[in-house]
Every structure is written in structure tokens, then in C-alpha cells.
Copies of this chain bind each other. A is one copy, B any other.
């Protein structure tokens, strides 16, 4: 067994995204104890940084010590009590995962389905809420990583309130890439991931809970089914007031990385970060469309940070990805579930949303398509992207 030296890839899949040297260096700083006073000061800064990122004053805002799937489970395991009905929007992998979470928590899931690559009409969601007056929660994915669909979170949250439901929102791929306004939209529970638009390494899941959400958790009839993710216990560690007590050992160095990512966002300015993602998406779209590729998702509901491109007829999608990895050290993502073999998922998340990456991606894909007997004009595509970037 020998030390593992990974190759240097460019990460333009559905996450992890490129991790900057600043974050990697931060993670390599000396480990502190999880109850060290200096570390606890850093924890307070992480909470404040996450509140700024989520645009919330929610006191209960912190990173779960595990990947985004555990953040999802934190929301569902705590908010869904035995027998609760939850209306779940399903238009991709993560809506289905929400259903699984509702069931594991002992709740009943009422599904509102829409074809992958689309989003359900608000009328359909309202019909489900109307038909289920006992529903306690509306759950939806803000940025569906499996398709690249952008949900209208504000409108959905408003609908939920109209029917006296709390909201659980998946912001794994949205946070730090497009506007997320937890207080502005009155979202009650939200979870995200460190490895998408924050460009940290994977392993942490920022979450935030409104006072209404906390009230529901406190009024539970049955204990939370997870000890590790039970908010009332986790908070004894993450809540600074009255002193911290040990619950579990926090992933200290991973939190150094998240802290540095939050510093980087505050330096660039959150609004500027959103603009950067939007511009890089426009440039990439111009280039890829010039190559003849089509988007899976209609323009008005298309995410900038996750571009699902339809694989042209006759092209072997896995072979193209393998070629990109081997010849260009470029990772892009495959389709999931019913989209397997049909789309590529190209991420422009966090540090990966850069001019350099846009140009590399267009050049490399043009090369890969040519190598797969699909002739394209790479120079023209690059020029189309440059026009956007030079504006």
C-alpha cells in the first residue's frame, strides 16, 4: 500500500466542483479539538457566514457533519412526525429521495409528479395541497441536480403557507449559485452541500431552520428516529449560548475548508457570485449550442450551474466522457435514472464557473465529438463563448 497521488482534474460534473488551493490549504492546517475555544470561535463565524449565504436570521443555521444526503435526512427526520402527510414534488432523482425520507421517518408522502426536465404547474401543486388538507409539509428541490431544472421557490413557499404547510427545500445545488432567500421566501427548513457552488470538498451539509420549524420539532409526539441527526441533541454542540457540550466529534478540518469558502464568498460578494454563475452559463450555452448541442431544459427554468445537454443521436455518451477524462482531465457528469445515456450534466459550480473552465469545456467537447465521428466547429463555438465573455 502506497500513498495515493490523485491526478489533477477539472471538475465540471454535478459536484464536487473544483476546490481552490485556498480551501485545500485551509483544510491542511493543524487539527484542533472540537471543544477548543479557538475552534468554537471559528464555529460561530461559520454559522454567521452561512446565515449570510442563506440570507436568513435563523439562529438554527449550521453545517451537518456529513454530506448533503444527511442534511436532507436531518430536515425530514426532525420535521416529519409519525403519520404526518408531506406533499413532495418529484421531477428528478432528489424528489424521489425526499419521498424515501418521508417514508423512513414514518410519514405519508403525497407525490406531485412532473416529467424529468420540467417542473410541475403551480396549479398541480395547489391541487395536491387542496386534496390533502391534513398535509403538514410541502417539500421540493430548488435546483434539481439530476436535470438542471430551477424551481420557483418563492411561489411554492407562498402556496405552502396558503395551505398552512411548512416547507422543506433542497438547496444542495442552488446555494451560492443562484439567489436563495430563506427569510425573503419564508422557507422553514433548507439543506445544502459543501461540494457544489461553495466549491469545498464534499462532506458537509449546511442547514437552516425557521422558528416555525423548531416549534414543530419541539411538539413531536414521537422521538426523532436518528440519534446522530436529532436537532435537539446536535444543538447542544452547535448552539454557543450557555456553553457547548459534546454530542459528536465535528469534522474539524473539513470545517476549516467551509470557513475559508465562506470567506471567499464574502470577499467576492454574494451578488457578484450569482452574476458570475449566470455569465459563465451564458458563455457556455453559446458555445455548446454552436456545437449543435441542445439543452434538456427550457430556457426559462434552466439553472446556470447545471447544464443537462442532450446526447446527439448515434454518439456513445459514456465513451465521450471517458475520452474527456483521459485526454483532457475533464470530468463531466452522466445522466441519472431515466436520463442515463441520454444527457450529459455539465456543472458550472463555484470555482468551476470560470472563463478558463468554459473555454476548456467547449474545446474539449468539440475535440471529443470529432473523435466520435460527430464533426463540429470548435473554433466557432469558442468564439461564440468569447463574445459573451467579452461583453
Task: Report how many residues on chain A are interfacial, defined by Cβ distance under 8 Å.
Answer: 79
Bound-state CA distance A259–B4 (Å) is 7
**CB interface residues, A 86-100, toward B, < 8 Å:** 97, 100
Binary contact readout A257-275 vs B (1 if CB under 8 angstroms, 0 otherwise): 0011011001000000000
A178 at the interface (CB under 8 A from B): no
Residues of B within 8 A of A49 (CB): 1
Contacting pair B253 A27 (CB below 8 A): yes
Q: In the complex, are the beta carbons of A254 and B203 less than 8 A apart?
A: yes
Bound together, the chains give a CA A187 to CA B67 distance in angstroms of: 29
Interface residues of chain A: helix, strand, loop or mixed (majority): loop
A19 at the interface (CB under 8 A from B): yes
Binary contact readout A2-36 vs B (1 if CB under 8 angstroms, 0 otherwise): 11111111010101101100101111111111101
A73 with B201: CB separation less than 8 A: no
Contact of A202 among B103, B105, B247, B250 (CB under 8 A): B250
- B104 and A249 form a contact (CB under 8 A): no
6 A-B pairs whose Cβ atoms sit less than 8 Å apart in the complex: A6-B38, A9-B36, A16-B252, A31-B201, A70-B70, A201-B252
State the A residues within 8 Å of B (CB): 1-9, 11, 13, 15-16, 18-19, 22, 24-34, 36-39, 42, 45, 48-49, 65-70, 72-73, 77, 97, 100-101, 103-105, 193, 195, 201-203, 223-228, 246-254, 256, 259-260, 262-263, 266, 325, 331, 336
